[in-house]
Structure formats: C-alpha cells, structure tokens
Amino acid sequence: MNRFLTAIAVGVFVLSGSAKAATVDFQFNAALQTGALAGTDFSGTASYDNQGETGSGTEYFSLTSLNFTLLGVSFTKADIDQGGQAILQNGALFDFTAAFFPPPPAMLQLATSHSALVDPASFGYFTVPDSSGSGTYTLTAVPEPAAFGVCLLGLPALATHKLARARYS
C-alpha cells in the first residue's frame, strides 16, 4: 500500500512540476465608468508564459495573447503599442499592461495602468475629439488542464488510503 501511495505522490510531483512552466490563460471584465463612454462594458481573454516564475515578489511576463472587442473594434496582442505584460505578485496574477494608440482619426485610445498610486485594475481612454474617461476591470485566472489532472490523481489515492485505514482500524 505504501508503494502505491509513493507512486501516486511521485506522479503528482512530476505532473505538478511539469505544469510549472506553462501558458497561463486569464479573462477580464471591464466597465467604462466615466466620460463619453460611461456605462459601456466589455470582456476579453489573454495569456502569458510563466517560465522562470519564482512565486516571490513582483514579476513581469510578456503576454502571449490578448483579445477583446470594444465598440466593434477588435484589439489583439499584435495591436499593443506599449506594455503587453502580465504582472504577478507573489505568484498570483495581479495586473496586466497594454496600451493602444491608433493613429488619427481613430476614435479610441486605450491604456491599462499600473502604478502604486493608481488602482491596479484601472485604465483610461481617449475618444475623438479630446474626450477622456476611465474604467476598471477584474481578472479571473482560467485553471490549466494539468491542475485538474493532478486533482483527479489525488482523489482516488486519498480514497484508497482512507479505505485502507478503515480496514485496519
């Protein structure tokens, strides 16, 4: 029985270790709260590669994807003019940066902001002619499939261990 539990523990360790360096997906929901576009909501998805993550302090990773649509205009990672980073604080997704500055006469410029003086989940926008506003967003991590696999391996091992303990009690 101990060999079985050891094998499961090694399997879980190997799977969790191999899942460490991976593409991490997240979603965001945003709401424009001030300015000409107040009351407009939108959502999107993004990802980053966490290879080299230490889980300690503030860490920055380049976005590998970014997709959302606002006012019928699609924005992607390829459109980012400045930023394009996921920001982690002690191993947890904290914020992301991306700024888009379309050339005139485009109607919208949008930038997330990251500053100790500004709410990390905020952004500003500018519309033609010279109107500005701001909004906020929330981030939601999308669990990676390997995490579910590790859980699925652990549950039968735990159940088997409990049954074995009950038999010998």
Q: What are phi and psi of 160, to 5 degrees?
A: -65, -40
| pTM exceeds 0.85 | no
Q: What residues have CB less than 8 Å from 103, skipping those under 6 apart?
A: none
CATH code at 22-143 = 2.40.128
Cα–Cα distance measured from residue 93 to residue 45, given in angstroms and rounded to the nearest whole number: 14
pLDDT recorded at residue 30: 92
- The pair of structure tokens assigned to 84 is 């394009």
Beta bridge partners of 134: 124
pLDDT tens digits, one per residue of 8-27: 444 444 444 444 679 999 99
Over residues 106-152, the pLDDT tens digits come to 556 777 755 444 455 788 888 776 788 888 888 888 876 655 555 55
